[in-house]
Amino acid sequence: MPKGPECQVERCKFPATTMHRLKEPSGPFDFPTDVVICEIHKDKLSDSATEWVLLNEGDGSRRLLVGPMLAELNEFVVLAPIKKLTVHAQSSRVVSHADHNGYSVPISVRRRGGEEETLTLVLPFDALVETADFLQHIAQRGRMRRTGEVDEA
Ligand SMILES: [Zn+2]
């Protein structure tokens, strides 16, 4: 007896029973998001609170990650703009390597597929200016794109 298609959620081996559209396209060139899935994932994905990511791989294949599986992406969504940066006084902390020292930048994040937490980046003093310039450049381009100005750079 021929076997029907399996659920397209990664590592799920249950038979696919239904076609599900993850997201309505917002333009004609959007990737299609129709997937065939099992009953369990149909219930999960029908809940708008469920987090998922559909990855379109270079070779034309797709991977659908749902919920805690997203942790494998090792990505952190920044929950609020960075507005704080501290420097520990030399008298309060001594580190073994000078280049392991710098500005402490606490960032409120949520790991994809996980919980909220605070990460603290330690940005070496020398790296701050270059990082700030880079982010400033990105921000400027984003602003121009939003206002419809042409980026001459
Ligand atoms: Zn499934």
Model confidence over 94-121: pLDDT tens digits?
Answer: 889 888 889 999 999 999 999 999 999 9
Q: How far is the CA of 107 from the centre of ligand 1 (A)?
A: 34
Q: Which of 71, 86, 116 is the last residue of a domain?
A: 71
Q: How far is the CA of 1 from the centre of ligand 1 (A)?
A: 21
Is the confidence at residue 135, as pLDDT, over 60?
yes
For residues 83 and 140, membership in a common domain is answered with yes
Lowest-confidence segment of 46-50, 99-103, 136-140 by average pLDDT: 99-103
130: enclosing H helix or E strand:
helix 125-147
For residues 88 and 128, membership in a common domain is answered with yes
- Classify 140 as helix, strand or coil: helix
CA distance 36 to 16: 6
Q: Would residue 81 count as lying in a domain?
A: yes
Ion ligand 1: protein residues whose beta carbon lies under 5 Å: 7, 9, 12, 14, 38, 41
Q: Would residue 27 count as lying in a domain?
A: yes
**In degrees rounded to 5, what are phi and psi of residue 81?**
-55, 150
For residues 66 and 89, membership in a common domain is answered with no
Q: How far is the CA of 4 from the centre of ligand 1 (A)?
A: 13
Q: How far is the CA of 122 from the centre of ligand 1 (A)?
A: 40
Q: Would residue 86 count as lying in a domain?
A: yes
Please name which of 113, 126, 115 lies closest in space to residue 50, comparing C-alpha atoms.
113
Task: Count the alpha carbons within 13 Å of 88 in the hemisphere toward its beta carbon.
Answer: 17
42: enclosing H helix or E strand:
helix 39-46
